[in-house]
Each structure stands twice: as C-alpha cells, then as structure tokens.
Structure 1
Amino acid sequence: MSAGASKCPLCGSSSLVEDDHHAQRQVVCADCGTVVSEGALIHDQFEGAAVSYNRTTAVAKRPCLNQIKGQQRLTTLCRVLRVNSEIETQASTYFGQAYEHESFLNVSLQKKDNLAGCCVLVSCRQLNWPITIGTVACLLDADIATLGAIYLEMVQVLKIQAPLVNISDMMEAHCQEYKISSLDVHENFAENCKDLNKRALSLLEMAADSWIVTGRKPLPLMMAAVYLAWQSLNPNKIRLKMSLDRFCAIAKVRKNQTAAKRVGEIKSVLCKLGQEIPWLTGSVTMDNVAWHVADVVKNRYALLQRALKRHEETTQVESQPSSEMENPSDPEDQTQCTSVPNSEEGDRAAVDDEDFNQNCEPNWGKRMLFAPPCVIQPKRRKVVLEAIKDVAEDEEISDSEIESYIRTPREVKEFVLMQKALELHSEKGKC
C-alpha cells in the first residue's frame, strides 16, 4: 500500500487494497472500487523507490553496426601501434564525435572506414607519439591521398589543433615496427632498437644536409635509413648480401617501392663523403661503404666541407682551359677568331650554334656536388612548337597537304563526295 494514500478520495473509506493489473501495482478502494494510485513501478535496484514510467521505458541510442566495426578497427590499430591507454581513449572520443557529425553521416563506407585511422593519427600527434600517415594507410590498406584528405577534413570539422611533426621525431616509432630483436630473429640478424634508431637518425640528418630529404615522402627515407643502419652496425657478409626485400621480409614489414631508390641515393652521398676520410687508403665504393658509415656520420660536417671545397677546386680547374680558348693571348689567333665569315654556310653555322645553346641549356644541378632532387632530375616538359606563319582563312591549301591529313578509306570517300558536291554547286552558280 502506498504510504501517501490512507483514505479513498471519493468515499472516504480507509479499506484500501493492492491490486496487480498488467504487471503494474495499483491501490484500489475495496468499497467503491476507485483506483487511488497507479503508474508507479517498484524495482529492487532503486531499493523500493518509485520509478516513473517514462524513465523505465527510455532506451539509449545504440551505435550502428558500421560504428561498432569502426571502433573495433580503431582498437586494433592502437594495439598494433602499441600506444598507451590515453591515446586510445582520446581516439575513441574523436571517433564518436566525428562519426555522429553531419559532415560524416551521408558519406561512403570507405570514408567511414578511414575515419578510425585519422582519429588514431591525430591523437598520436597530440600526445607526442609521432607516426606517419603512410604507416596508418599501410595498416588500413588505404590510399594515402584519400586518407590525407579525410584527415584534413576531420581536423577542420572538429576544430582540432594537431601539431606538425618532424621526420626525426617519427624515427623512434618507425624503428619499433621492425621485428629484429633477439627474440624475433637469429642472432646474426638481431639488433637493438635504440642503437638502430640512433644510427638511422644520423643517416637521416646526413641525407637532410645533402638535399635528399627535400620534398620527399618520409616513409621511404626512413625505411632506407633503417636498412643501411642495420647493415652498418654489423657489416658482416650475411647482412651485406641481404637485399632490401629480404630484410623487410625478415623484419615483418611491408616494403615501400620507392625505398630502394632512396637507398641508392644515401649510399651515393656516403661514398662522396667517404672519399674525404684522410686515414683511408683505398677507394670507397657502393659495396664496401657500409664498413665506413660509422666514421662518415660521426664526422659528417667536416667531411661535407672538405667534399664541397674539393669539388669547387676541381670545377675551377676544369673551366680554366675553356676560358683560355675563348680569350686567346695570341693576337693572330684573336684576329682569326673575331673575323666572321661572309659565306652563307658560316651564317647558318652561327645561327645553329646559337639556337643549340639556347634550347639545350645545361642543368646547373649536375654541376653541383649536392643539389635538390628536383634540380638534378627535373621533370620533362613537352615542347610546344610554334607555327612559322599564320594561315589565313582565304588561303588556298594544296591537294597534297590535304591528302596528308586523310587517314582512313571512309575519309577518302567523304572527301571525294564533298568535292563532287562543290563542283555541282559551282556549275549551278555559273548558270
């Protein structure tokens, strides 16, 4: 019986009884049958307190199936990257906010799948756990350009301030992806992660000083630096003969297609600097440069200055004979060189030489010892040939020129019919 209801409000009787109607407990007057109180449910977890009907029937909004899968994908990424619980919690919060935002409601399923990786990426950068967007794209098997566009949109929509990271900051996290510890591989291949990170970071700094890092994607450079660092820390016959493909297979990482080119570029710089080591008697080549990596990275600043100075002196010596040929000291030779032939062949030769010098200008990056990659290997551009003269509308075109443009028998037939039609039209005009 309810504590607040002691008498019937209609007849004033105090004979009230409890009646269960449709699993809802009610207080009814035994004399007149009036329902004194109803709509209150008693539950054990509230210790007998009255709970209103709308509170018992309220259902929380459950996440959809795609959101549950995205949350599972986010958790898997965090486990693979070995991030702490704080990063995982923050990434889950961002994922919930972004998934329910109006900008990501009516989008493709691929975009929703990549949203989890973007949340992990921005959380790692905010909490000083630098990873590359290429690493996330590789784990999700997604296009790096598409993932980058979704990342920028998410940061803008949620108004998140994500700090920019340096390639040196990402090296430590990148080295942990390689399973080459003593517990994972044979002792001939095993290497300490801290030593590997230190040597690879030194190689990256050397590559940055020689313009290799400029305008390049970080993932191939880091993979090339780790591979060369692994070889140089213990340059035995087994490691030196192992290719980059085999190394990635042993370390259980996916090989980047561009990493092999970066290995060759870093090795080329190591050879140039290794030639300047004063205590070396033999030459430094691509095959034995791994033995001298420790000396090169330790003294790279001094070796870089020596290499630049030597290259400058060599360039001056090579350019000196050509300057003497242009300005000879003998007056007779000078008169012979300054005299211009009046013949037509001489004029044509001078014009051809001038055009050749203008069109085939040498690349200045190839004359430098170290230069940006875009200068050493510029992209080939299509040369647009300018017309020698403008063709007027009323200018006659010869039949041979017209026939040179005709390709198929159908075009030949249409051309013949058109000529006959023009002839008939001209005859009618004369009549």
Structure 2
Amino acid sequence: MSAAGLKCPSCGSPNVVEDDLHAQRQLVCVDCGAVVSEGLLTHDTFEGRDVSYSWTAAVAKKPCLNQINGQQRVKAICRALRVNKEIEDLSKTYFAQAYEHQSFIYVSLQKKENLAGCCVLLSCRQLDWPITMGTISCLLEADTLMVGAVYQELIKSLKIQAPLVNVTDLMEAHCQEYKITPHDVHEDLAEDHRDLNKRALALVEVAADSLIVTGRKPIPLMMATVFLAWQSLNPNRVRLKMTLEKFCLIAKMRKHKAAMTRVAEIKGALCKLGKEIPWVTDAVTPENVVKHVEDIVKNRSALLRSALRTHEAALQQDSDEPTTPEKAEQPADDESEAAQRPQPNWGNRVLFAPPCVTRPKKRKVEPESLKDVTGDEDISDGEIDSYIRTPREAREFALSQAALLAQSETSK
C-alpha cells in the first residue's frame, strides 16, 4: 500500500509503501530501501529517545480499599449536608492529599474516618458554607474533641488557613435542622424557619452584649437561643411549659448538656433588661421573661443603657452610705485582718461579666501541712506505731527491732 504525499529523505523517491512483514508497521522506500518511519514506538514524546520498561509496562498505583471508602464517606457527608458540587470536589481533593500525607499514613482507622469529615468541614469554611464542627461530629458519630484534633492536624499538614466562623453565620443553617414545620408537628408548635432564625439572632446579640458568648462553644448557645426564640414567638401555655429536653425530642435534635446552662444565663440577662421596660409593672422573673422577649429585642440598646445607669446608681448609693460608729471605732488590728481577707469577685460588682470571671474554675489548694513536705523527713516511733494494724505486723516489727539491736551490740 502506497503512502501518498511522502518522499524518501535519502533519494527523494515518492515510492514509499508500508512494510507489513515485521511485527511493527514501517514505511520504506521501494527504490533505495530506506526506512522512512519507525512506527508508534518512536513517535511523539519518545522520538529520538530510548524507551525504558517502566514507561511502557508499568502499572498505575491504585488507591487502597480504605482510601476508596474514605472518598465514598466524603461524598456521603456532602450529600447529607446538601452542599454544592464545588465543595464536594474540593473535599475529595483535600482528602486525597491528606490521605497520602505522612501525618495520616500510620494512623488508626477511626482517625481516617474523622479525616473525611474534617476535609468537608475545611472546604465548607473556605467556601463560606455555614456548618459547625458539632454537626460533622454528629454525622460521624464521633467525639467533638477528637474531630477537632484531626481538623487542626489537617490544617497544619496541608498548610491551609481556614477562616473562623461566627455564630450569626451558622444560625440559619442550624435553625433548619429543627423539624418544627407544620408538616412535622402540630400547628400550635410549628414555626417558620425564617422567623425562628431572626428571633434567635436577636437573642444571640443580647447574649453577646451580656458577654455570655465569650469563650463559649457555638452549638449549645445556638440551641438555647433557638429554644427561647421558639417559646417567645408564640408564648402560649403549651410552649411555656415545655422543657428544652422535650423540645429537642419533638424537633428531632440531640440535646447538648451545656444548652440548659446557656438558657438560664440568657434568661438572667433578659431579666436585667426586662426590668427597665417602663410599661411593665409586674416583676420580671425567669419564669415570665419569655413573654417580654419581643419588647426586649426591639429596644435592646435603650434597655441596656438604662440597665447600666441603674446599676451604677445602685453602686454609688452603696458607696455613699454613712459610716456607722462600730466601723469608725474598729481597731487597727481588725483593719489589717480585713485587708488580708480575700476580696470578692469583681464580676459581682458589674452588671455583666465574662463567664471566666463569674464562674472561675476552682483550683486545688494544697494543705499547709503538705506544702513543705519533701519526703526525706524522719519518721517518729509514734508515727510508725500508728501504721501498724494487725498483731502479726506488731510481732514482726518487734522481732526486727530486736534483731537490729542485737546486731548493733555484736558490732560493738
């Protein structure tokens, strides 16, 4: 078969045909027998070079079973969260990079399972998709502390800076997790997610003004604000009597242990603001403050200023009280003792204080008798006798003492 359009580079003859006598097809010149083309092995990228065995016969490395399962887990988490295709692709890319990294090669299978969720969390935060670490932990059925440790190690290994998220950015997605639509619950208990999100955000702002948000995890705080928002939007008899635990059961949400504490703290802050409402004549208590939430959030700034002025006036009045004769005639020794007494927590003197001040962690205080103990002190005979409990131990101790005494006399 003639190859049209080709000429022999040696003699210039156009009589170039295909040679089918060899295993590889070649184009040869009929007149001089020169090989015009060597075929596929020396074509394109291999032209003019030696071809090694690894280039022609090597098999591409296939992912292991755990890596395949991890990619499927990433895909399942993304579908459960209903993220877009861009986040899903980025999560798969991060998982492939992290799985081959030396920090995650020789780790437990549980840690690799958590790695899949952390890659999804990292992608969501980079692409501004609101999601919390608690949600990922719930999907993985893993401990939040363990997931957080894997997430920090992932960021460090891949050298990626993930943006921090705010509670307000997560609230909308968090409210949609509560199954309290008219299709899920009774009409008296149903609430629109948009109204719930708006009221919960207003309560988060109240909590931020009261320093309740400072240093706190977002999930319990959001659960507390959603619960109070749900009660305040329609404060009927059924909602006001319902507890947080039963509300989570109806909404198909897992209750967080610290959420009830956040509810009590937010109610305390609302009471301080609710007492400043001019048209409220009854006493505002944690039991009825939910009924006044709408007025409080609408006039939050004005009520906060009024509450601060009232608190400062009360402090000024206490400091201006006249000194009693008993205090005036107090001896100097008593004054020095009073000065050495521990001062009260300054968080009790302000209207709002951070949680680390109002509820500080209790530190273990060593007894005075153990502060200077080094372990090299001599043990008295009376103290040794106090350690002896049984008659057998008493006899053995007496025999040992006699043997030591006899040995000392013999040595003399």
What amino acid does structure 1 have at the position aligned with 2:383? E
Find the aligned partners of 1:282 and 1:138 in 2 and give their Cα distance: 43
Are 1:425 and 2:392 counterparts? no
What amino acid does structure 2 have at the position aligned with 1:246? K
Give the number of equivalent residue pairs. Answer: 381
Give matches, 1:384-423, under 5 Å.
384-387=366-369, 398-406=380-388, 412=394, 415-423=397-405
CA change 1:90–1:392 in 2 (3 A) is closer
Check the 8 A contact 1:129/1:173 in 2, yes or no: no
What amino acid does structure 2 have at the position aligned with 1:373? P
Find the aligned partners of 1:131 and 1:252 in 2 and give their Cα distance: 18
**1:100 Cα shift?**
2.1
CA RMSD after TM alignment = 3.7
Check the 8 A contact 1:308/1:369 in 2, yes or no: yes
Which deviates further from its counterpart, 413-422 or 65-74? Answer: 413-422
What amino acid does structure 2 have at the position aligned with 1:83? V
**1:79 Cα shift?**
2.0
Give matches, 1:263-302, under 5 Å.
263-302=263-302
Are 1:369 and 2:373 counterparts? no
CA change 1:141–1:310 in 2 (3 A) is same
What amino acid does structure 1 have at the position aligned with 2:194? K
Check the 8 A contact 1:121/1:136 in 2, yes or no: yes
Q: 2:363 aligns with which of 357, 363, 381?
A: 381
Give matches, 1:302-317, under 5 Å.
302-317=302-317
What amino acid does structure 1 have at the position aligned with 2:162? A
Q: Which TM-score applies when normalising by structure 1?
A: 0.77
What amino acid does structure 2 have at the position aligned with 1:374? C
**1:69 Cα shift?**
1.7
CA change 1:325–1:92 in 2 (3 A) is farther
Find the aligned partners of 2:54 and 2:377 in 1 and give their Cα distance: 90
Which deviates further from its counterpart, 375-384 or 360-369? Answer: 360-369
Find the aligned partners of 1:85 and 1:394 in 2 and give their Cα distance: 69
Find the aligned partners of 2:185 and 2:374 in 1 and give their Cα distance: 77
CA change 1:392–1:255 in 2 (3 A) is closer
**1:200 Cα shift?**
0.8
**1:414 Cα shift?**
5.1
Counterpart of 2:105 in structure 1 is: 105
Find the aligned partners of 1:263 and 1:121 in 2 and give their Cα distance: 27
CA change 1:392–1:77 in 2 (3 A) is closer
**1:427 Cα shift?**
2.4
Counterpart of 1:69 in structure 2 is: 69
Are 1:190 and 2:190 counterparts? yes
Find the aligned partners of 2:75 and 2:209 in 1 and give their Cα distance: 39
Q: Which TM-score applies when normalising by structure 2?
A: 0.80
Check the 8 A contact 1:276/1:303 in 2, yes or no: yes
Counterpart of 1:200 in structure 2 is: 200
Find the aligned partners of 1:207 and 1:307 in 2 and give their Cα distance: 15
